[in-house]
Amino acid sequence: MSDLLYEQDGHVVTLTINRPSNLNALGVSDDGKLFHDACKKINADRNVRCAILTGAGRAFSAGGDLKAMAEKTGAFSGPATDVREGYRNGIHQIIRSLWGLEIPLIAAVNGHAIGLGNDIATLADIRIASEEAKFGATFINAGLVPGDGGAWLLPRAIGRSRAAELFFTGDLIDAQTALAWGLVSRVVPQAGVMVEARKVAEKIAAKSPIPVRMTKQMMRQADTSTLDNILEMSANMQALAQCTEDHMAALQGVLNKTSPTFAGK
C-alpha cells in the first residue's frame, strides 16, 4: 500500500499521508516523488476541482522523521552536501509540488501537525482542524532551523510576531489558539474533520472551475505584486472569464435562481 493514498470521488481528490505507525513522519528518499507524481496527476486532470490533504490515524504529520535524522538515513544521510541535496530533491519537492497545485487545497488537520507537518498544512489554501489537533514549528527543539519553507509560509499565515514566537520557543499551540491566530479557519470535533473538509470541497467543486483556478493564481501573485499589477492581471482574467460558457451558465443561474452545472468551458 502506498505511503501517499490517492482517492478520487467525483471532482474531489483526497491525498492521505499513510504512515500511521510513525505519526505520518516524512523523510524517506522517495517522498518527494510521491507528492510530485500525485500533484502532477491532479493538475493534468481537468475533472479535478478541489483536493484534500490529511493524515492516516491520529496525526496529520509529525514532520521530519527524527529517528531517520538520528540514524542518518533517508533524506538525512551522508555529509552536509548530501543532506542539502536530500532536502532540495526530496523534502523541498513535497513543498514545491503542493504549492504548485492549480486547484484549491484543503488541509484536514486530523491531529498533530508539527515541524514539516505544520509547513505542509500551511501550504493549503484552507485549513480545517480537529479539536484535538496541535500545531508547532518545533525545529529549534531538535537544534534545527525551519528548513522546509516555513520561514516564508508561516509569517504570511499568522503574522511575523506570532510566527517568531513559535519558531524561537518551539512551543505547540492547540486548535483553538490556531483558530484565534488565523492558522485555521474552522475547528470541528475529531470525528467530523473529514466530513467538514469534504463539505467545503464539494461546495468549491460545484463552482465554475476556470475562475476558481484563476482566483487562486491571482491570490498567489498578490502576495508579491503591486496593486497596479494585480489590477492589470484582474482585467485580463476577467475578460477571459466573461468569454466562457460557464460564465453564461452562472449568470442564468443567478437570474433564474437555479443551480447550474458547470462544464469547465
pLDDT, one tens digit per residue, over 29-47 is 788 999 999 999 999 999 9
Report the alpha-carbon distance of residue 218 to residue 230 in Å, rounded: 7
For 133, residues 6+ apart whose C-beta sits below 8 A from its C-beta are: 60, 109, 110, 111, 112, 113, 174, 175, 178, 184, 187
Beta-bridge partner residues of 129: 109, 187
Report the alpha-carbon distance of residue 183 to residue 128 in Å, rounded: 9
pLDDT, one tens digit per residue, over 149-158 is 999 999 999 9
Q: Which pLDDT value is given to residue 256?
A: 75
98 and 53 Cβ atoms separated by less than 8 Å: yes
Report the alpha-carbon distance of residue 82 to residue 75 in Å, rounded: 8
Q: Which pLDDT value is given to residue 1?
A: 64
CATH number (3.40.50.1220, 3.30.420.40, 3.90.226.10, 3.20.20.30) of 4-205 reads: 3.90.226.10
Residue 216, SS3 per DSSP: helix
Those residues of the chain that have pLDDT short of 50 are none
Q: How far is CA 254 from the centre of its chain?
A: 31
Q: Is the pTM of this model over 0.85?
A: yes
Beta-bridge partner residues of 7: 14
Report the alpha-carbon distance of residue 183 to residue 179 in Å, rounded: 6
Q: Which long-range contacts (CB under 8 A, 24 or more apart) does 218-226 make?
A: 223/156
Q: At what angle do helices 150-158 and 160-169 cross, to 10 degrees?
A: 130
233 and 219 Cβ atoms separated by less than 8 Å: no
The closest alpha carbon to 114, from 51, 174, 70, 73, belongs to 174
